[in-house]
Amino acid sequence: MLELKFIRNNPDVVRADLTKRGGDDEKLAWIDDLLEKDIQSRDMQIDINTMRNRRNIISREIKEAKKAKQDISGFLEEAKSLPAQIREAEAALEEVNGKIKFYQMRIPPNILHESVPVGADDSENVEFKKWGEPVVPSFPLRNHGELAVEKGLAEFERAAKISGAGFYMLKGNLALLDLALQHLALDVLGERGYTPVIPPYMMNRAAYEGVTDLGGDFENVMYAIDGEDEFLIATSEHPPMAAMYMNEIFDEKDLPLKLAGVSPPCFRREIGSHGIDTRGLFRVHQFNKVEQFVYCKPEDSWALHEELLKNSEDIFQMLGLPYRVVNICTGGDIGTVAAKKYDMEVWMPREEAYREVVSCSNCTAYQSVRLNIRARDAHDFENKYPPLHTLNSTAVATTPDDSGHYGKLSGRGRHGCHPPRSPAALHERRRDSLILIFSGSCEGVKKLNTFFRLFHFPDIFKMTRR
């Protein structure tokens, strides 16, 4: 959410942003009401403080009188009446503050960066970067899920039997690939100064509400643990990585703080239905992900936004997956939290379309204000606690990645190996075998053996890499 102080001092900026997003009159009216309530609230606070002041003074007088062995009954009469008055005024104030908070949490959204394009919906997102050559299949492709089952790399029916629709089992090389992709992302990010974090997979309601406003939808989006005040996390960046520092103050010297959150697994109830590949690995109840998360000083956040995107791009380039990057427009899926958001969309040959697999956002101060996370600036006494900026970007979400690989692979059908798109990069990292495993047959076998050896002996693996 935006700082109250900011809204109070810059109502026109807030209104202009709502208008840019195509905001309606109702929301603009809410802003006016919010500003009015803010004035009211501060007046009430002053009244309350005056009464508290009086109470404190009387208390002190009683103390002094008792010390001097004087009669205190004269003071007690007024003293006894005050607490009730104060309580009443406090209750009234709380009601007004509750409304302010309500508005503050729902409107206004974050102030958009000037480079965010205006558009009605996702079709008007602006593509500004493309890498790799999308494969256009010359014959009908098979569903990646089917193919995986056929090759003994996944199970859907047995997963459904024990867990329900939307679940899967990864087997054999596919299970290993899933882990290897996470490992790859952590290696790349680790070299670049990101600290790997494995967070708890459950979070209590209070912490979750600090992170995101799900309203009444809480139970529909997330899995709740019966009999416990715990929810399975839906993603790693918001819940643990953002909430872990809530109500804390950073020392300037600790910024920027760069984290690589490993969230096996993320749990989601809502997965929707996605056309031809509904069955498979693209949208599931449970998936694995490595997420970049950064806390930084405001002046650094735009450069870091580009850095996060570059990290994600580098990983996808190592994997040889063609993708494009779009700048999400005002009517797209930009949400209320991000000031600017890039999506990386990977090419899905079967659908002959780019599909979102990475979402990279600069949330500026919006999240940190809501979570009450601040930075201490010892040198700036005017603005002792400048707002902190937060950013997040997917590094890999493994099942969507798998699906991308499979899309590519299914284009080759049973005709054999497909050379990695970026062999040099992969070879350097000894990751080429991964892609070859995916090609599913013949010449890949030798490299596959190499992969197993390396994978099962991570120390040797590290030595070979250097």
Partner RNA sequence: GCCGAGAUAGUCUAGCCCGGAAAGGCGGUGGCCUUGAAAGCCACUGGUGUUUCACCUCAGGAGUUCAAAUCUCCUUCUCGGCGCCA
Longest dimension (CA), the chain: 103
Nearer to RNA, 64 or 428 (CB): 64
**DSSP symbols for 416-441:** -----SSHHHHHHTT-HHHHHHHH-S
Closest contact distance (angstroms) between CB of 466 and RNA is 34
Closest contact distance (angstroms) between CB of 66 and RNA is 6
How far apart CA 312 and CA 172 sit, in angstroms, is 26
Closest contact distance (angstroms) between CB of 111 and RNA is 20
Closest contact distance (angstroms) between CB of 385 and RNA is 5
Binding region for RNA (CB under 7 A): 5, 42-43, 46, 48-50, 52-53, 55-60, 62-63, 66, 76, 79-80, 82-83, 249, 378-379, 384-385
Nearer to RNA, 357 or 365 (CB): 365
Nearer to RNA, 4 or 159 (CB): 4
**Cβ atoms of residues 277 and 350 within 8 Å:** yes
Select from 400, 337, 416, 297 the least CA-distant residue to 112: 337
Closest contact distance (angstroms) between CB of 243 and RNA is 14
Nearer to RNA, 157 or 228 (CB): 228
Nearer to RNA, 16 or 58 (CB): 58
Nearer to RNA, 83 or 419 (CB): 83
Closest contact distance (angstroms) between CB of 342 and RNA is 33
Closest contact distance (angstroms) between CB of 377 and RNA is 10
Nearer to RNA, 295 or 354 (CB): 295
91's CB contacts (< 8 A; 6+ apart) are none
99's CB contacts (< 8 A; 6+ apart) are 33, 37
Nearer to RNA, 63 or 414 (CB): 63
Q: Which long-range contacts does 132-137 make (Cβ < 8 Å, 24+ apart)?
A: 132/317, 132/320, 132/321, 132/322, 132/323, 132/347, 132/421, 133/322, 134/322, 134/347, 134/349, 134/352, 134/354, 135/322, 135/347, 135/349, 135/408, 135/411, 136/349, 136/352, 137/349, 137/350, 137/352, 137/411
The three-point CA angle 227-228-231 to 5° equals 120
Closest contact distance (angstroms) between CB of 84 and RNA is 9
